[in-house]
Structure 1
Amino acid sequence: MRSLTQSVLRWPRPEQVLQEVQVWAAAQRRARPSLQRVGVFGSYGRGTASVGSDLDLLLIDERAVGPQHQRLRHWPLERLPLSCDALVLTPAELQELLAGGDRMARELRSDLRWLD
């Protein structure tokens, strides 16, 4: 009789993910003093994250320039515990975004949770 091998995948608990993101953010602040704030939004910001949730991350970098795809190259997102959708904004860009009425602005106003 042959035994089947099974793979068991474990998804990290939301508290564990947020703790690891805080450690990551602290390391990034030490490496790049222009990083002012780090926040999560979406399911982690709302407190509804569960198995399969990705991480939605907001980085406020006072020296961010260029399009998003270039801004993201400066951050080691692969060191985070989950796949991540990140947005890098300057403080002025964040204020402008939050003042708007689009879906992203509404989501950030309701779900954004700062980690500092």
Structure 2
Amino acid sequence: MSGEAFGKCACRITPRSTGIDELPWGSHLCQFFANGDELRDAIVPYFKAGLENDERCLLVAMAPFGADDAHSALRAAVGDFDRRELEKQIEIHDVRTWYAAAGAIDSERMADGLLAQRRAGA
């Protein structure tokens, strides 16, 4: 993996397949959607590509495409989804429980917690 230190992570600088387009690591995207079907059609290929690239994926879902919808759609799109979820390669959370567990939105604390999980091999 090519990359350079950026903040707390080593980031790839070469483009990768995202299920949407070839993008360099660390790119930010904005997606407008009218309903849950449009959101599903945008994010399922994105998360599928991430899983197939052996990336760790976190999806914090909310209406109109909630956590149950995300589980169903990704299970249908990714043949070994259950194994990947069991191995914690992907985590899907409902937005209400995700932020309630943190008490408040504290992005630095959340990032530190995710990095600690990664270091621990979780």
TM over 0.5: no
TM-score (normalised: structure 1): 0.34
Which structure has more relative contact order (CA 8 Å, sep 6+)? It is: 1
